[in-house]
Structure 1
């Protein structure tokens, strides 16, 4: 299933990075290969895709025309990645218990330290950076250098998003997906998962998708606690992001070491 370079480049060129093209529902299309243990993925305002390659210790940038460059390297365990509206790129170090902040030009600084195996990063609806703090079993927010615990008592969280109604959905690599409703009630979902992974993303309309790192699927989370597979046949999908035009999901796989495009199902 691993795409060769010719296939990857042909797909990238023919689809102009494939973000507006349509294919049959849930038919994954290979975009890039030789992506080493990718975890965090996000887009900047110019449509560049940034990928945190945990296994290579680097951040790769894929331009809208498919061109690949190394944005940063020599990093220790880069995991979660999230890009702020001002263009700042935040990257969690799974190995060093900290988060870096990069300028769009690649200048690096340490943003916050003292974490406990930080995994996925995202932003809440107020624009605060959220961290899935795996070892402490909680979701934190970071604001002006201060850490605040938002959700506690989780089962090894590795990714989280906030829903339009103010609730949260958390991917737990220890098992299951936690839906936290605005009134504080919890629903433990994801019984169909083998092992939920760090890849979790939300559309502008509030649909939530999570990778099954221990399996072969990307699944949509249903707010009643169920889920449905939207794509299958991957080898340990890890990273996940929605494209800027909301037409597709991109997932990075551990097994194929590739990035695939999944047309967003209805």
Structure 2
């Protein structure tokens, strides 16, 4: 049956409301685009700590999305319990009185939300705050991971300062207290499961030989331990007191945390796949609770010669290849199980892929054909965009210092400051074919797009008055396409005149910034294919969109 004229008219009106109408200007017609979904989104930006509330819901922490969510186990529906800025949780648990507690990894804050009440911060200045658990007597413990390596006792009411118990354990992660009131948890850097007496400080190894154990929980009878191994993608049962190991289920790599229900069903989070699965230990069967095809899509790149416009997606917990035309994920390189480290930006050279990560503070150069990591360069200055120039040197945007720096090809690498004084540089795109080669950079703090001459670092303003510009790409005709995150719109800028055209608005982009993170931390990525189709990542929705030119 053909659609009615009224339905066709309503669809046309809806499209006109979403997209700009073409018109003639002194610079020619305004382009018009049709917005389409490439990959549908998710409620999460990576899933981490889990906790069951005993009422048919699973609480899940969402670190980069700065939220704590509740998953209805009967329907799979996801709701937000706490959003930004206090919701940035790495792990979550319930206290004896039913209060919900969670850890802010980046902010170093510990939050408490009573059953009926408002969220408040009960501890601060604990960077890398990660895991947490209560002992049977109500004493409360947390650990620092990555940005620290320590075990602390914390007042659940926040009335007294945290007390240091142990430091230098070997990265104690997701832990739980056993029936003997000892703390059981994984030592990430040692591949071991340890038992800790928090009263005496005694540490004993109860099992070892793991790739990267990230969390443990006792079974429903509190006799044996379930362990998730992130590198091997395994759920393992450790028999106590012998420490004997038994594989319960094999899953994709990137497992982060787990919780066990009273029926002994094991719920496991996977940050790489942005999902949660439940495992029946009796037969090893696996059932999805929450699924997603992307985790935290950020930087985007597409080869200009690629007729199929296959995208490189810096997905924070993975580097993925996604078909720009059909959304098919054809290749995934995962963190933890490979040398790749949490990519947030991606750019393409003739033979290389360049990734940068403010998450772990480094830049990586990969072989474009094989995907092999060729170089890893540390940079803790809030590194954002990274480009490989024709001579093989790298150009990096340091959002925290406001510098653009060159990194040469030598080992160890030498660094030269090209320019400084930029205000939150995030996105980079090169114009190396010009008579005076340069690079365009978005400044998220100043709201400018600036051109920097590669010869001497001289700067000129291309456009200003933007609100939090992040991702930037060049159209085949030379125009600049920019994600203006502060106004949640996609704009085109003419480099010669600075004229700005809004291509799409009302976009779901721009997670709020959080304390402890560099400017533009989770960047909104932009890429343009040879057809003129524009691709945009949505950090809020964990989705990927395309904007197709309308003839």
Asked if TM exceeds 0.5, the reply is: yes
- The farther-off stretch of 36-45 and 126-135 is 36-45
8 Å contact from structure 1 (residues 78, 93) kept in 2 = yes
Q: Distance in 2 between matches of 1:134 and 1:29?
A: 31
> Which SS does the other structure have where 2:173 is aligned?
strand
- Look up the match of 1:152: 208
TM-score normalised per structure 1: 0.74
For the pair 1:109 / 2:131, whether they are aligned, the reply is no
State whether residues 168 and 181 of structure 1, in contact with CA within 8 Å, keep that contact through their aligned partners in structure 2.
Answer: yes
Structure 2 counterpart SS, 1:116: coil
Aligned to 2:228: 171
3-state secondary structure, aligned to 2:90: strand
Aligned to 1:100: 152
Residues 66, 232 of structure 1: alpha-carbon distance in 2 compared, 3 angstrom cutoff = farther
> What is the aligned partner in structure 1 of residue 100 from structure 2?
49
Count matched residues: 225
Q: Is residue 2:237 matched to residue 1:180?
A: yes
Q: What residue is the counterpart of 1:243 in the other structure?
A: none
Structure 1 Cα separation of the partners of residues 54 and 208 of structure 2: 36
| Higher RCO (CA-CA < 8 Å; seq separation 6+) | 1
**Conservation of the 8 A alpha-carbon contact between 1:157 and 1:171:** yes
TM-score (norm 2): 0.38
Instruction: Flag the structure with larger Rg.
Output: 2
Q: Which region of structure 1 is more displaced relative to structure 2, 167-176 or 48-57?
A: 167-176
In the alignment, structure 1 residue 32 sits paired with structure 2 residue 88: no
Note the residue ranges of structure 2 that are not aligned, 5 or more in a row. Answer: 1-41, 45-52, 58-71, 297-316, 318-521, 523-538, 542-551
The residue that corresponds to 1:189 in the other structure is 249
Residues 223-262 of structure 1 correspond to what in structure 2 (within 5 A)? 223=281, 224-233=283-292, 235=295
CA deviations on 1:7-29 (whole Å, 9 max, x unpaired) are xxxxxxxxxxx974886522222
Alpha carbons 2:106, 2:127 under 8 Å: kept: no
The alignment partner of 1:118 has SS state of coil
Give structure 1 regions of 4+ aligned residues with deviation exceeding 3 angstroms: 18-24, 233-236, 254-257
Change (3 A) 1:185 1:55: closer
- What is residue 273 of structure 2 aligned with on the other side? 215
How far did 1:101 drift? 0.3
Distance of aligned partners of 1:21 and 1:214 in 2 relative to their CA distance in 1, 3 Å threshold: closer
Alpha carbons 1:190, 1:221 under 8 Å: kept? no
After TM superposition, give the deviation of residue 67 of structure 1 in Å: 1.1
Query: Given the superposition, is the C-alpha separation of residues 136 and 53 from structure 1 closer, same or farther in structure 2, using an over 3 Å criterion?
Result: same
* Structure 1 stretch displaced more, 55-64 or 156-165: 156-165
User: What is the distance in 2 between the residues matched to 1:185 and 1:19?
Assistant: 29
